[in-house]
Structure 1
Amino acid sequence: MKLADLTTHLNNLLQVSTVPDYPPALNGLQLQNTRGEITKIAAAVDAHLPVVKAAIARGCDLLLVHHGLFWSGLQPITGAMFEKIKLATENNLAIYSAHLPLDGHLDLGNSILLGRAIEPDAAWEPFFPYKGFNIGVRATVEIPRIELVQRFEQAIEGKSHICAAGPDIVRNIGIVTGGAGSEVAAMKALGIDTFLTGEGPHWSYTLAEELGVNLLYGGHYATETFGVVALAEHLNNTFGLPWEFIDHPTGM
């Protein structure tokens, strides 16, 4: 498939031209490839050097990521940055990144997919806008907290860190994946009794205790694998492009 056509499809699907984001996200095609065609996709959370090497080793010509090349901000193209761009260019690897457009997407987004993995029968609704675009989901449920923790850990395939300061029976869940732990006070104000996210600052735990909110941290990486996998599956179903997931967890 032509890279230009695939890029247009992704841009339209994810509305990258209209969804607001942090400047380093630079959503969309970040690096074109030399042949202008795509035959195999690698999906990953981060576009860093080990992942670029793995994508090349697996014969991929598109790396689809959540955190792109410029996530650390403006920097010289030297060292690891130079090496991964050089390797990608020499090995015909294009790189496409989608951050908040993928977090908040209501079919393929990290938040909605995590929610459905935990409680598929809940009526998940978009909420928690960033500059007008909802990046999270919420639902009204009735689940014992101990069971919710088990479902959460099954969904992320790992252990969570829990501040069990809210009710034993969870009724109002809010999910914002990634590094949204600092928003615990906003969750309380929105009527959320149990907040699921990836990570947060140290004080987010103590604030959750003071506010009486259950706060479950699943890890930034672990809560943001859902979107890139779903997006790669979508491209496979739509265009027949084979794909692989490159799992390179940070433990954070």
Structure 2
Amino acid sequence: MKFSTNELLPLVSRLDQLLRTAEIGDYPGAFNGLQIENQGVVSRIVAAVDACEAVILQAAREPGTLLLVHHGLFWSGAQPIKGILYRKLKAALDGDLALYSSHLPLDLHPSLGNNVLLAKSLGLTGLKPSLELKGQSVGVMGKIKPMKREKFEALLCKSVGGRVHLAPGGPETIASVLVVTGGAGGEVARAADLKVDAFVTGEGPHWSFTAAEELGLNLFYGGHYATEVFGVKALARWLSEGTGLPWSFLDHPSGL
């Protein structure tokens, strides 16, 4: 679908509609949507996982940039504009940078979301929403051609572009998988209740490793950052196809 404008606010409305920003709940204090407005016109689209200072400084080098991120600036309600937050806001405003953030709405999107895209990269089929949180399913569950645990680990390494960590608590052959990107390791008990062979997430608390062993579940930690590059890239590509504007991805991995 082609859009007839490169003005910021109409594009934000398109993003909000696509992601159902007003409808999907998130963590208390998390703010989804337009976080910083620019002077009104978008000249290029940049995607990144985190709205960290390094990313903002790089994105703001070219005026009129729309920066799409998964982890935005605001998570805990009203904050004083000082210190690091001041520096980030000043860099964005000085550089005519607009910032749009989408957390759970992007994770959950049925075609552009982190969960579904990671699941598809692993070859999962029969995908269905799963693992309810705040009245909505925050993960996807699917089937895969039965394979040894080590082969699935290698497949996940390829998908996330790096090493993964495994708590080998479940069966040696994997045929069913739950995917919840990001930091969902603390949901290991509820994942085990779903009777899947493997649970793929980004990271989790220390105790989640031994819990997976005790619950009889293979828990794969693919990296919080690495499991969440999929959605922002897909969202930027979607917006680029609609506007004809160029897009790029700023990679600033945490290694976590």
TM-score normalised by L of structure 1: 0.96
**Partner deviation per Cα, 1:160-194 (whole Å, 9 max, x = no partner):** 01011111111220000000001110011111220
**Partner deviation per Cα, 1:113-150 (whole Å, 9 max, x = no partner):** 00010115x12111112222222110122222111111
In the alignment, the residues of structure 1 paired with residue 46 and residue 128 of structure 2 have an alpha-carbon distance, to the nearest angstrom, of 30
| Secondary structure in 1 matching 2:69 | strand
Q: 1:29 maps to what in 2?
A: 34
* 2:71 alignment partner AA: H
1:205 matched to 2:209? The reply is: yes
| Secondary structure in 1 matching 2:126 | coil
| Distance verdict in 2 for CA 1:72–1:247, change over 3 Å | farther
1:124 matched to 2:127? The reply is: yes
Partners of 1:51 and 1:246 within 8 A in 2: yes
1:238 matched to 2:242? The reply is: yes
Partners of 2:181 and 2:224 within 8 A in 1: yes
Q: 2:180 maps to what in 1?
A: 176
In the alignment, the residues of structure 2 paired with residue 128 and residue 173 of structure 1 have an alpha-carbon distance, to the nearest angstrom, of 12
Correspondences of 1:1-252 after superposition (within 5 Å):
1-33=6-38, 35-57=39-61, 61-71=65-75, 74-119=78-123, 122-141=125-144, 142-252=146-256
In the alignment, the residues of structure 1 paired with residue 255 and residue 62 of structure 2 have an alpha-carbon distance, to the nearest angstrom, of 24
* 1:179 alignment partner AA: G
In the alignment, the residues of structure 1 paired with residue 219 and residue 62 of structure 2 have an alpha-carbon distance, to the nearest angstrom, of 38
* 2:179 alignment partner AA: I
Moved over 4 A (4+): none
In the alignment, the residues of structure 1 paired with residue 188 and residue 123 of structure 2 have an alpha-carbon distance, to the nearest angstrom, of 21
**Partner deviation per Cα, 1:181-235 (whole Å, 9 max, x = no partner):** 0111001111122000000000000000101100000111110000000000111
Partners of 2:30 and 2:76 within 8 A in 1: no
In the alignment, the residues of structure 2 paired with residue 198 and residue 93 of structure 1 have an alpha-carbon distance, to the nearest angstrom, of 29
In the alignment, the residues of structure 2 paired with residue 201 and residue 74 of structure 1 have an alpha-carbon distance, to the nearest angstrom, of 28
In the alignment, the residues of structure 1 paired with residue 120 and residue 190 of structure 2 have an alpha-carbon distance, to the nearest angstrom, of 23
In the alignment, the residues of structure 1 paired with residue 195 and residue 77 of structure 2 have an alpha-carbon distance, to the nearest angstrom, of 35
| Distance verdict in 2 for CA 1:73–1:221, change over 3 Å | farther
| Secondary structure in 2 matching 1:13 | helix
Deviation of the 1:73 alpha carbon: 5.8
Deviation of the 1:24 alpha carbon: 3.1
**Partner deviation per Cα, 1:64-120 (whole Å, 9 max, x = no partner):** 000001146653211111011011111110100000000011100001000010115
| Secondary structure in 2 matching 1:20 | coil
Cα RMSD, aligned residues only:
1.3
In the alignment, the residues of structure 2 paired with residue 186 and residue 60 of structure 1 have an alpha-carbon distance, to the nearest angstrom, of 44
| Secondary structure in 2 matching 1:9 | helix
TM-score normalised by L of structure 2: 0.94
In the alignment, the residues of structure 1 paired with residue 225 and residue 239 of structure 2 have an alpha-carbon distance, to the nearest angstrom, of 22
Deviation of the 1:26 alpha carbon: 0.4
Q: In percent, how many aligned pairs have the same letter?
A: 48
| Secondary structure in 1 matching 2:35 | strand
In the alignment, the residues of structure 2 paired with residue 40 and residue 25 of structure 1 have an alpha-carbon distance, to the nearest angstrom, of 26
Partners of 1:20 and 1:130 within 8 A in 2: no
Q: Number of residue pairs matched?
A: 250
In the alignment, the residues of structure 1 paired with residue 30 and residue 148 of structure 2 have an alpha-carbon distance, to the nearest angstrom, of 37
Deviation of the 1:58 alpha carbon: 5.1
